[in-house]
Chain A
Amino acid sequence: GAGVSQSPSNKVTEKGKDVELRCDPISGHTALYWYRQRLGQGLEFLIYFQGNSAPDKSGLPSDRFSAERTGESVSTLTIQRTQQEDSAVYLCASSLGATVKGEKLFFGSGTQLSVL
């Protein structure tokens, strides 16, 4: 596609419910990143994929968070048993991921998650 697409743009859920956030990267981009941004804060790294593999999952805040990527394309970030502190904007970015030079991250507009 023309850019990174994230859905839904907004999600309101009740505490304890599970949510799935979707990211469609730019076609051909092999690297994909998830970040969390709380209100007024910077970007908190969660996880990245090179192809369908996630070499480092240490950024995930707890075992309630998981992510997967299939077909070197779409990625899903799942939060189980949501808590109020999970409320934030979840941003996805993709990059070519195939060069030793500096790369550009292309971000989606994010999913605003509100846990009531």
Chain B
Amino acid sequence: LAKTTQPISMDSYEGQEVNITCSHNNIATNDYITWYQQFPSQGPRFIIQGYKTKVTNEVASLFIPADRKSSTLSLPRVSLSDTAVYYCLVGSYNQGGKLIFGQGTELSVKP
């Protein structure tokens, strides 16, 4: 099982770009990388997912280098509402699986 390591916390200001990096040195060939966002008193929600290179959607970008041993979630022009905990999840999704979350990164966006 791939173990993930993320910074425990990060601070930013409104309008800035935020990059959160996750290390997953023992990622397996079949593993995908998924990022989730969690607000207080809510369950996590899906942000973005990728296998290699770059993925972009309406809320974020995900950069994955060729060796796939790390990944970077990029949030463009953050706002106060982006204050949340962000989790990197690495795992094999074939027919479900033992999906273990890391400790997450608490992002605080200030005015």
A residues sitting closer than 8 Å to B (CB atoms) are 4, 30-31, 33, 35, 41-43, 45, 48-50, 56, 59, 91, 93, 95, 97-110
Contact = CB atoms under 8 A, between A and B. Distances in A.
Interface string B38-65: 0001111110011100000000000000
Given A91-B43, A102-B32, A105-B44, A45 B96 contact: no
A103 B34 CA distance: 9
Contacts, number: 76
A110 B39 CA distance: 12
Interface in B52-111: 87, 89, 93-104
A26 B101 CA distance: 21
Contact of B97 (A30, A48, A98): A48
B45 A56 contact: no
Specify the main secondary structure of chain B where it touches its partner. Answer: loop
Contacts of B103: 41-42
A105 B32 contact: no
Given A93-B43, A110-B43, A104 B34 contact: yes
A20 B16 CA distance: 45
- Majority SS at the chain A contact face: loop
Interface residues of B, number: 28
Closest 5 CB pairs of A and B: A107-B43, A102-B32, A31-B96, A103-B93, A43-B101
Contact of A45 (B45, B46, B100): B100
Interface string B4-31: 0000000000000000000000000010
Contacts of A101: 32, 93
Contacts of A31: 95-96
Contacts of A108: 43
